[in-house]
Chains A and B, each alone.
Chain A
Amino acid sequence: MAGTDFDVKYVAHLARLALTPEEENALGAQLGNIIGFVEQLKSVDVSQVEPTAHAVPTVNVMRPDEVQPSLPHDEALRNAPKKSGGLFVVPLIVE
């Protein structure tokens, strides 16, 4: 039963989501319940069924490769938590 072996810590790491120990406990129980609920899909015979990703069949939509107006530089940086010299400031990635 997937509900009981639900490893919140591991999945939270995959999701890049810091959780408090209290959150981990609460989420573990709640998600166990929800996973238990969605398990009912296992009783549906889907062996001959194609998956639906979109309700409206979608195909790649192409447009001519032409330069069009885009967001001005300062507007794109307007909401940056940290910026300097017209750039986003991020933590050091390579020494």
Chain B
Amino acid sequence: MLNQLTISQLTEKVARREVSAREVTQACLNRVAKVDETVHAFISYDAADALAQADAIDKEIAGGNNTHRPLLGIPIGIKDVLAVKNHPLNCGSKILGNFVSPYDATVIEKMKAAGAIIFGRLNMDEFAMGSSTENSAFGLTRNPWDTTRIPGGSSGGSAAAVAAEEVIATLGTDTGGSIRQPAALCGCVGLKPTYGRVSRYGLVAFASSLDQIGPFTKDIRDTAILLNVISGHDRRDSTSVNQPVPDYTKALDGNIKGLRLGLPKEYMIDGLDPEVKAAVEAAVKQLESLGATVEEISLPHTEYAAATYYIIAPAEASANLARFDGIRYGARVDGANPIELYSKTRGAGFGSEVKRRIILGTYVLSSGYYDAYYLRAQKVRTLIRQDFLKAFEKVDAIVTPTTPTAAFKIGEKSGDPLQMYLSDIFTISCNLAGICGVSLPCGFTKSPKLPIGLQLLGKPFGEETMLKIAHAYEQSTPWHRERAPLAK
């Protein structure tokens, strides 16, 4: 079954004309038709459009053109927050109505140029606000390992689609863990690049100083391939950094002898599930046996990360989401005057979590509270970033669990926003510090059998070393070869 293969396996087959892009795409479409009624990873998809893209690729290959492209004939699913020309874009929300993107995001342009087939709109928490994909206006997504459980969020559809083998890889976005957390809970690889590594042009902004786009894949090599394609400076995103993009696949040589890994003592919290703790400890032993040295480090301001994040992210969101006012696009609810039109449109269009964060963000930015909350949080952010920069003077990468527990039940935390927020406790600091992070499988809970994620955090623009370590670990363990029950 072609949909079970990886990018690196398939591009070779397609380039050698052993299989066509159409066959790969059709295999994915068949898979989606079979399982997506249960998983609901996709909000929508257009089979005819996907096959037309595949046929165009096959035509080029038949002509002997561009056969060495890194994503040749690979269907890649897209989180519903990235603009794809002539595809719908809803951000998991009602407020965008029947919006159709008039242009491609930079990452989409790059993937098209690399030979990818841009496929479908993946479900997500509305405007990427959530940790379970229960906040979507288009219904919830189920975890392919246990369909009574959440896939994580906010990029839950992106993670579930890879775990259920509906597409070969997907893109998601990560503002406080929205790639790494669902990757951990669905048992796939998910990487958040260093802030500025990937252009955000064509990404609907949630928290502009924290958002990054990144890949979900079945293994580390595929993540390196996809990161090669989407990285780089873009004049249309002034926060993208003009720094050369190395070939990340070159770092995957298995040699991690002498690399120094840090274990932050602050991550061994009370709420850490014993099975997760044991799996991460075993992973650390494995990394040591591969030749890495491990030492305990301290990131003293870790306990303040969640509070800092839940001031800064809603503050930025409340400003970014002001543009959804019913004037230029999306659904509109009429009012007697412009203010009433804005209020009614936004009241009808946004879901409860988005409203909660807009109110919270507006409050912490409002006159009389700005210094006490927002400015103070920005200062604590400095301390959190300094913790990491100091730690990276001693170590090459940091090892932690990705999440405190495996996937929780649907509905388990949806009634308590604060509890939901704390499920991101290990992933949030990475965004505040602007560094890179990746989650990869490191074991399973016993009963039920649910994936556990290992998080590696790297220096700013330290993706090569981080991927080298992740790859060495992955290739020496069996976890990435395990398949979700639904995938069998």
- Contacts from A to B (Cβ < 8 Å): 2, 6, 8, 11-20, 23, 26-27, 30-31, 33-35, 37-42, 44, 46, 49-56, 58, 61, 63, 71, 75-76, 78-82, 88, 90-93
CB-CB under 8 A from A78, the residues of chain B are: 100, 102
Per DSSP, chain A at the interface is: loop
Q: Is B326 an interface residue (CB 8 A)?
A: yes
A17-B347, A81-B330 as given contacts; A55 in contact with B373, CB under 8 Å: no
Inter-chain CA distance A18–B349, complex, in Å, is 10
**Can you name the residue of chain B whose Cβ is closest to the Cβ of A76?**
B102
State the Cβ distance, B291 to closest chain A Cβ, in Å: 31
Q: Is B376 an interface residue (CB 8 A)?
A: yes
State the Cβ distance, A16 to closest chain B Cβ, in Å: 4
**Which of A76, A88, A90 gathers most chain B CB within 10 Å?**
A90
**A55 touching B330 by the CB < 8 A rule?**
no
Q: Which residue from A30, A46, A61, A79 sits with its C-beta under 8 Å from B329?
A: A79
CB-CB under 8 A from A76, the residues of chain B are: 102
5 contacts between A and B (CB under 8 A): A38-B307, A38-B310, A55-B460, A58-B238, A88-B327
Q: Give the number of residues in B that approach A within 8 Å (Cβ atoms).
A: 75
**Which of A12, A16, A42, A78 gathers most chain B CB within 10 Å?**
A16
Q: Is B362 an interface residue (CB 8 A)?
A: yes
**A19 touching B385 by the CB < 8 A rule?**
no
Inter-chain CA distance A2–B366, complex, in Å, is 13
CB-CB under 8 A from A79, the residues of chain B are: 97-100, 102, 328-330
**A37 touching B196 by the CB < 8 A rule?**
no
Inter-chain CA distance A17–B241, complex, in Å, is 36
**B369 touching A2 by the CB < 8 A rule?**
yes
- Contacts from B to A (Cβ < 8 Å): 97-100, 102-103, 195-196, 209, 235, 238-239, 241, 301, 303-304, 306-308, 310-311, 318, 322, 325-332, 334-339, 341-344, 346-348, 350, 352, 355-356, 358-360, 362-363, 366, 369, 372-373, 375-383, 385, 417-418, 421, 432-435, 460
**B360 touching A55 by the CB < 8 A rule?**
no
State the Cβ distance, A76 to closest chain B Cβ, in Å: 7
State the Cβ distance, B306 to closest chain A Cβ, in Å: 8
**B434 touching A37 by the CB < 8 A rule?**
no
**A31 touching B343 by the CB < 8 A rule?**
no
Per DSSP, chain B at the interface is: helix
**B382 touching A51 by the CB < 8 A rule?**
yes
A18-B343, A34-B417, A49-B382 as given contacts; A81 in contact with B209, CB under 8 Å: no
A-B contact sample (5 more), CB < 8 A, given A44-B380, A81-B326: A16-B325, A17-B355, A49-B379, A54-B209, A91-B334
State the Cβ distance, A20 to closest chain B Cβ, in Å: 8
**Can you name the residue of chain B whose Cβ is closest to the Cβ of A13?**
B343
**A19 touching B355 by the CB < 8 A rule?**
yes
**Can you name the residue of chain A whose Cβ is closest to the Cβ of B364?**
A38
Q: Which residue from A20, A44, A56, A71 sits with its C-beta under 8 Å from B383?
A: A44
**A53 touching B378 by the CB < 8 A rule?**
yes
A15-B358, A79-B100 as given contacts; A49 in contact with B434, CB under 8 Å: no
Q: Which residue from B303, B356, B369 sits with its C-beta under 8 Å from A27?
A: B356
CB-CB under 8 A from B332, the residues of chain A are: 81-82
Inter-chain CA distance A88–B334, complex, in Å, is 14
CB-CB under 8 A from A75, the residues of chain B are: 102-103
**B356 touching A31 by the CB < 8 A rule?**
yes
Inter-chain CA distance A18–B301, complex, in Å, is 37
A51-B375, A52-B382 as given contacts; A17 in contact with B366, CB under 8 Å: no
**A56 touching B241 by the CB < 8 A rule?**
yes
